[in-house]
Structure 1
Amino acid sequence: MIEESAIVVKIENHQVWVESGPYGACGGCLKKASCATNAIGSVLKKKSVPVDSDIQLKTGDQVMVAIDENLLLRASLLLYLTPLIALFTGAGIADWLLADNAKSADVWIAGSAVLSFLVSLWLINKAQSLLIMSYARPVVVRKV
Structure 2
Amino acid sequence: MILETGVVVAVESDGLWVETIQKSACEVCVAEKGCGQKFLSKLAGKTVSIRVLRNKRSSEEFTVGQSVTIGIPEDIIVMASLLVYLLPIFTAIGGAWLFSDSDWQAVGGAFGGLLLGGLLVNLHSVRKRDDVRFNPVLMEEQIQPNILNFQH
**Fold equivalence (TM over 0.5):** yes
1:17 aligns with 2:21: no
Q: Are the counterparts in 1 of residues 70 and 138 from structure 2 also a CA contact under 8 Å?
A: yes
Question: What CA distance in whole angstroms lies between the structure 2 residues aligned with 1:73 and 1:27?
Answer: 14
Q: Which residue of 2 aligns with 1:31?
A: 29
Q: Which has the larger radius of gyration?
A: 1
Letter in structure 2 aligned against 1:137: N
Matching of residues 50-89 of structure 1 within 5 Å: 50-54=52-56, 57-59=61-63, 60-89=65-94
RMSD: 3.2
Matching of residues 1-144 of structure 1 within 5 Å: 1-13=1-13, 15-20=15-20, 26=24, 29=27, 31=29, 45-47=47-49, 49-54=51-56, 57-59=61-63, 60-95=65-100, 98=101, 105-130=102-127, 132-135=128-131, 136-141=134-139, 142-144=142-144
Q: Secondary structure at the match of 2:49?
A: coil
Question: What CA distance in whole angstroms lies between the structure 2 residues aligned with 1:47 and 1:25?
Answer: 14
What is the CA-CA distance between 1:30 and the residue it aligns to? 7.9
Q: TM-score, normalised by structure 2?
A: 0.64
Letter in structure 2 aligned against 1:83: P
Q: Secondary structure at the match of 2:48?
A: coil
Q: Are the counterparts in 2 of residues 18 and 51 from structure 1 also a CA contact under 8 Å?
A: no
Q: Secondary structure at the match of 1:115?
A: helix
Question: What CA distance in whole angstroms lies between the structure 2 residues aligned with 1:45 and 1:29?
Answer: 16
What is the CA-CA distance between 1:3 and the residue it aligns to? 0.7
Q: Any unmatched runs of 5+ in structure 1? A: 39-43, 99-104
Question: What CA distance in whole angstroms lies between the structure 2 residues aligned with 1:14 and 1:55?
Answer: 10
Q: TM-score, normalised by structure 1?
A: 0.67
Report the number of matched residues. Answer: 125
Q: Any unmatched runs of 5+ in structure 2? A: 33-37, 39-45, 145-152
**Identical residues among aligned pairs (%):** 26
What is the CA-CA distance between 1:47 and the residue it aligns to? 3.3
What is the CA-CA distance between 1:7 and the residue it aligns to? 2.3
Question: What CA distance in whole angstroms lies between the structure 2 residues aligned with 1:116 and 1:28?
Answer: 35
